[in-house]
Structures are given as C-alpha cells and as structure tokens.
Amino acid sequence: MRRRAIVAALPALWAGMTSSSAVAGTVQTPTASNTDQEAEDLDLVSRFMRGIVSGRRDATLALLSDDARIIFGRATPSEANPLYGTWVGQEGARTVFERFGELIEPGEVVVKHRLSTQGVVVIYGTMRHSARATGRPFPSDWVLFARVQGGKITLYHFFEDTAALEHALGTGCEA
C-alpha cells in the first residue's frame, strides 16, 4: 500500500533528527525545527495532541482556526468507521473527538520524530489503542500532517492503519 510505503520511508528521512520517547496516553518529544516560529508551530500542534488525549477539550479546541479541517484516516465519510470524513471548525472537531472517545480506549502513544517547517508540522510515531466495543487491540504506525497559520491549526490530518482500525472496531477486514 502506498501509505505504508510512505510511513516506512519516514524514519530514513528523519534519521538522527530527534530521539524517541514513549509515554502512555501522552505525547512528549524533543523539538526539531529551524526557527522560533517553527518551534512555536510544533509546540502548538503537540499541545493540541496532548490536550485531546488528556480530555481538556474546550481549551484544546481553541487552538483550531474557525475553518480548520480535521481528518482521521479518510477525508470521505464511510459506514465502516464513524471517524472518517472531514470535520470543520471547533464544533466538527468536538464531534469527531467525542466519537473517538466513545469508540477507542487510548493506550500507548510513541512519538518517534517531529518536524516543522514553513507552517507545516509532521509528527510520526506508533500507537497501541483498543476498541471499546470489541476489546480488540488497535496497533498502528501513524503520521500527523498539520498546517499552522496565525497561531492556529488550520489542518489536522491524522494518517493511520485504517484496516487495523476497522478490524478493531469489528467493521472491516479480518487481520
């Protein structure tokens, strides 16, 4: 699959930029950026990720622009997963993160690399969550691609192993 090839190539692209860290239920890593603005963008997206995992939704949603687009896995809706689609603004984000909380029991999140340049933030790692309804594990490599403008997140596109997610939810293929 093309996505897996991209994810597999990322460590080689970023080799030696940052060290790995693993903290269950949180996201913490050293900063890899070239300017103060890039470090601020990276910090903003990292705070957003930590806020979502910790449940501080209102303060966290304030980090989004009014027209921010939030995408988990696929930009188009699907019956296979109620998280799929493009969610717009703080209300859209609130809806998708509430759905996430209903469906997924967060587990370990490992951030392996972070990169920020010219308003684009890319974070790569692994995770191991589980589906609440089935109890099945949901292990996946993941990549977050975000855009930042004017101190707000304008795009939050989270790429993950959608087949593994659908299997964990009991809506897709067998693993």
Does 18 or 113 have the greater pLDDT score? 113
Answer yes or no: is pLDDT of 18 > 70: no
pLDDT in tens, 122-148: 999 999 999 999 999 999 999 999 999
User: Higher model confidence: residue 173 or residue 117?
Assistant: 117
The class (CATH top level) of 22-169 is alpha beta
Mean pLDDT of all residues belonging to the chain: 82
Write out the chain in H/E/C secondary structure: CHHHHHHHHHHHHCCCCCCCEEEECCCCCCCCECCHHHHHHHHHHHHHHHHHHHCCHHHHHCCEEEEEEEEECCCCCECCECCCCEEEHHHHHHHHHHHHHHHEEEEEEEEEEEEEECCEEEEEEEEEEEECCCCCEEEEEEEEEEEEECCEEEEEEEEECHHHHHHHHCCCCCC
